[in-house]
Amino acid sequence: MMAQGSFVVNNPAWRERLEPLLKGQHFMQLLGLKLTVIEPGYVEAEMEIQSVQRQALGFLHGGVMATICDIVAGVAAFNLIRSDQHVVTGEIKISYLNPGVGDKVKAIGRVIKQGRMISFCEADVYVEGNGNLVHVARASTSMVIIEESGAIKG
């Protein structure tokens, strides 16, 4: 499933720019989250669930799900911006749909509407276990575009 709609890729060298940033993405490393598909406006990721990422009854911790949503939505938005820009999370709303019981996480992040100052994104998290894939969380995010200097684009 790829991103819907047409997006303007403002940096033809976005892949080269993304590579060093991902190496320094400590949350991804701590979680063990691997990006498996990376396209402008669209990202897929996978992760093996570790025991420290579980809460009561073995459910995947809500904070882990929220972090995964933030990462995949942010990377999807990042792939569309100019080389002198960055994105930061302006707002994120997580809906927890089902308990996350399983061994593996799959996540999708996608840009829904690309803007000049804000990109609106969605992210979905699924947990796989015993051959079942269960939709456990959905996030709606607004990713704010900032200039290299740190100023919000206006």
* Beta bridge pairs of residue 39: 42
Question: For 35-53, how does the pLDDT look when each residue is reduced to its tens digit (9 = 90+)?
Answer: 999 999 999 999 999 989 9
Does residue 24 carry a pLDDT above 90?
A: no
Q: Across the chain, where does the E strand assignment appear?
A: 34-39, 42-48, 85-96, 104-113, 118-129, 132-147
Mean pLDDT of the chain: 90
Looking at residue 88, its pLDDT comes to 95
All domains in the chain, ordered by first residue: 14-147 (3.10.129.10)
The amino acid occupying position 76 is A
Q: What is the mean pLDDT of residues 117-125?
A: 96
For the sheet containing 132-147, what is the strand order? 34-39, 42-48, 104-113, 118-129, 132-147, 85-96
Determine the Cα angle at 88 with ends 117 and 51, to 5°: 145
Q: What is the mean pLDDT of residues 68-85?
A: 94
Q: Across 65-117, where does the E strand assignment appear?
A: 85-96, 104-113
As a whole number of angstroms, the distance between CA 35 and CA 7 comes to 20
Q: The tokens of 127 are what?
A: 């947990």
As a whole number of angstroms, the distance between CA 98 and CA 132 comes to 13
Does residue 103 carry a pLDDT above 70?
A: yes
What backbone torsions phi and psi does residue 74 show, to the nearest 5 degrees? -65, -40
As a whole number of angstroms, the distance between CA 18 and CA 8 comes to 17
* Cα–Cα separations (whole angstroms), residue 51 to 142, 146, 149, 154: 31, 36, 40, 44
* Beta bridge pairs of residue 35: 45
Question: For 58-69, how does the pLDDT look when each residue is reduced to its tens digit (9 = 90+)?
Answer: 899 999 999 999
